[in-house]
Amino acid sequence: MYEKGIIKATLCFCIGLIVCSGALADEIPWPLAKDYSQDTKPIDEYIKQLGTTTNSKMVGEFRKQLRARVAEDEKIVAAGDKHPQYEQAKEELDRYELFLDHMGHRLWFIFHGNVDMEKNNVSFDYAQLSIPRSNVRVMSTDGENVYFFKNGDRVFLEGEDLAEVQKQFRQMYYTLYFLQGVDKPAFKKYRAIADACLRYTSMAMKNNKPENVDYHPMPTPGKLNELAPKALELAKKSDSYKDAIEVVIDADDWTVERNSVGVILRRKVGAWVIKQEKDHKRAFRCQFAQPFQGNGYGELILYGVGGGQFNIK
């Protein structure tokens, strides 16, 4: 339903494809020249190229060449098994389906929702889309406006995160491009998903503005915040928090950690490490601890990183 409109509307954003080196073997497009059912790495590499390509004309020629060969194969198979090239044509058609299926199947790694092809309906759960390798989700909190989210908050994407989303967008676009016009039910389903991914990601891109970011108040210090100066010193010595500007310990008491037989190992406390970003601060959850030494506790150490983060205006 949306395929032609999406391809036209996003052409300026999705600027091209390249063909894998050695694309032809005896005039056969490379996806049809070899059985990749046991080794899909060449297809995987091609899909990766879809996200970083700069040559849209070449992919148009490649798809044209691929489909022309498939059309020839379909005529041969339709003529029956008496044709001298019947077996080869049948194998090439199987490989073509494998190529398209593998491209379409990759979409399931980022799509969260349901597809009802009988009702021609694509629906999402609350998470909608997740972008691999970037911890970014495409979500709508009100069912109407769509934004990029990280750790439950609306964010403004730039740098590596934005580049990763753009790469995934191009891959979705070209998956739809290759699947367009292929009538097998499974491929229609992939097209519906790719189309929905493109539409929602496009909406999030339009709303990718600093003014749409969610902000939270500074964490409230607890009674153990007297340890904050030492905690900041430790944070700055770590790879994760070397650019920290502040630590806020929001707990009033320690949590004692024991082993399976009840022996005390350490006591630990949660904290927020604060970093200064371009136009706001960002808080990162971590833990500090004091190892138990038999007759008391030792020096404070940075014990664990990760566990949540949020923006502070």
- Specify which of 37-51, 164-178, 224-238 reaches the highest per-range mean pLDDT: 224-238
C-alpha–C-alpha distance, residues 264 and 298, integer Å:
13
Please give the radius of gyration of the chain, using alpha carbons only, rounded to the nearest integer: 27
pLDDT at 198: 87
Asked if the structure places residue 217 within a domain, the reply is: no
How many independent structural domains does the chain possess?
Answer: 2
Q: Is the pLDDT of residue 245 over 50?
A: yes
Asked if the structure places residue 63 within a domain, the reply is: yes
Q: How much of the chain exceeds pLDDT 70, in percent? A: 84
- Number of other residues whose CB lies within 10 A of the CB of residue 163: 14
Domain range for 293 is 223-312
Claim to verify: residue 297 and residue 183 sit in the same structural domain:
no
**Average pLDDT taken over every residue of the chain:** 84
What confidence tens digit (pLDDT) does each residue in 55-83 have?
888 888 999 999 999 999 999 999 999 98
pLDDT at 229: 97
**Residue at 203: amino acid letter:** M
Q: Is the pLDDT of residue 10 over 80?
A: no
CA-wise closest residue to 254 among 289, 209, 221: 289
Show which of 210, 245, 274 is a domain's final residue: 210
Asked if the structure places residue 100 within a domain, the reply is: yes
Asked if the structure places residue 118 within a domain, the reply is: yes
Quickly state the pLDDT bin for 53 (edges 50, 70, 90): confident
What confidence tens digit (pLDDT) does each residue in 106-144 have?
776 677 767 666 666 666 554 467 776 667 888 877 777
pLDDT at 117: 64
Quickly state the pLDDT bin for 2 (edges 50, 70, 90): very low
Q: Buried b vs exposed e over 121-142: b needs ≥16 C-beta within 10 Å?
A: ebebeeebbbbeebebbbbbee
Alpha helices in the chain (DSSP H): 3-9, 30-33, 41-50, 56-79, 86-105, 159-179, 185-206, 228-236
Claim to verify: residue 147 and residue 73 sit in the same structural domain:
yes
DSSP notation for 116-154: ETTTTEEEEEEEEEEETTTTEEEE-SSSS--EEEETTEE
Asked if the structure places residue 139 within a domain, the reply is: yes
Claim to verify: residue 60 and residue 202 sit in the same structural domain:
yes
Q: Is the pLDDT of residue 16 over 70?
A: no
Asked if the structure places residue 130 within a domain, the reply is: yes
What confidence tens digit (pLDDT) does each residue in 182-198 have?
888 888 888 888 888 88
pLDDT at 132: 67
Q: How much of the chain exceeds pLDDT 90, in percent? A: 46
C-alpha–C-alpha distance, residues 194 and 47, integer Å:
14
Note if the pTM is more than 0.75. Answer: no
Claim to verify: residue 190 and residue 237 sit in the same structural domain:
no
- Specify which of 36-40, 102-106, 196-200, 283-287 reaches the highest per-range mean pLDDT: 283-287
Q: Compute φ and ψ for 60, nearest 5 degrees.
A: -60, -40
Claim to verify: residue 35 and residue 184 sit in the same structural domain:
yes
C-alpha–C-alpha distance, residues 171 and 44, integer Å:
11
Q: Is the pLDDT of residue 30 over 50?
A: yes
What confidence tens digit (pLDDT) does each residue in 149-162 have?
888 889 899 888 88
The sheet carrying 147-150 orders its strands as 111-116, 121-131, 136-139, 147-150, 153-154
CA-wise closest residue to 247 among 214, 298, 285: 285
pLDDT at 96: 95
